[in-house]
Structure 1
Amino acid sequence: MRYADGPTTEAAARVAAPPRAVWALVTDPQFLVEVSTEMQRAEWVDGDRPGPGARLRGEHHHEARGAWSTVSTVTAWEPGRVFEWTVEAGAECGETAVWRFELTPDGDGTVLRQWARMGPGPSGLTAAIERWPDKEERIVEGRLREWRTGMERNLDAVRERLG
């Protein structure tokens, strides 16, 4: 699995709450900060309101990388159904990742799915891959495992909050 191939991961869970309640949590940057081990701070840029084209600034920290900042743009926004944001690497570099929450009504609850794709633009993994090209697959697989663990933690937090 190579970074340039845009590898993905996902997690899903059923939440015993209606989509509108789940939506309120997964579109709240402060909730995401509370449950994330990497995202330390998040805010809408320049007073942007959540919705298509809105920008979100994030401050992150990872033990292996240290601190970094991101700016993401909301690339899909279907209230009660889909919230997607694209992490920008800069106009000439493209996107570093795409993250998405999908909500599907399920009786009196909601199936919540979180999905993410790496690349194709450079990210924090790029330097490690360039330094150890023979270990690219292990580097990518390790990061995908971390992402999936974080997603599972996010879904558990939503269930606990709304449970």
Structure 2
Amino acid sequence: MEWTGARYADKPTVEVRTWIDATPDRVWALVSDIAVMPTMSEELQSVEWLDGAEGPAVGARFLGRSRHDSFGEWSTTSHVIECEPGHVLAWAVEDPTDPSAVWRFRLRPRDGGTELSEWMQLGPGRSGLSFAIDTMPDKEQKIVFVRLREFERSITATLEQIKQRAEA
């Protein structure tokens, strides 16, 4: 797990890795199936492809609905910005030129299985976290730290579920 940055404008990131005793193709089948992601997340409630898309491809869009005790309920439109089957899937949340977040799964063959990492970056575009920072600018570093810790826990849990499903 790695973190960088302390303020929102720094585009702080978090990344978690795991090794899975399964082929990259088997792992890819799970990480590229966005419909399965809400079953592995407390925050993400539902996901659906938009514009007739049926799977990931650069430029494809999907709608995600989320819920958080502190932020309430919201929805976002994400844009696939990288898609290399068996290797990488990344999407920008809301505006792809100024995203509120960027998420990326990266798969690498390793030791007869797959190293899977999930990485996310806050900002630079505004998000729900921006409103919390606006109301308490003196607490910005703590707000960012707490949110990154939440993402770390969530990503760790998601990777564990992907691992269990891929190895089953």
Aligned to 2:78: 72
- 8 Å contact kept, 2:66–2:74: yes
From 138, 148, 156, give the equivalent of 1:152. 156
- 8 Å contact kept, 1:25–1:31: yes
Q: 2: CA distance between counterparts of 1:96 and 1:128?
A: 14
1:101-139 Cα shifts (integer Å, max 9, x gaps): 000001321000000000011101011101000000000
| RMSD, matched Cα | 1.2
Q: Percent identity?
A: 45
1:26-83 Cα shifts (integer Å, max 9, x gaps): 0111221100111100011021132110001000000001100000000000110000
- 8 Å contact kept, 1:89–1:122: no
Q: 1: CA distance between counterparts of 2:81 and 2:16?
A: 20
In structure 2, give the amino acid aligned to 1:118.
L
Poorly superposed stretches of 4+, deviation over 3 Å: none
Q: Work out whether 1:120 is the aligned partner of 2:120.
A: no
Structure 2: which 5+ runs fail to align?
1-5
From 100, 122, 138, give the equivalent of 1:134. 138
Q: Work out whether 1:110 is the aligned partner of 2:114.
A: yes
With structure 1 as the length reference, what TM-score do the two structures score? 0.95
Structure 1: which 5+ runs fail to align?
none
1:73-99 Cα shifts (integer Å, max 9, x gaps): 0000011000000001587xx210000
Cα distance, 1:159 vs. partner? 1.1
With structure 2 as the length reference, what TM-score do the two structures score? 0.93
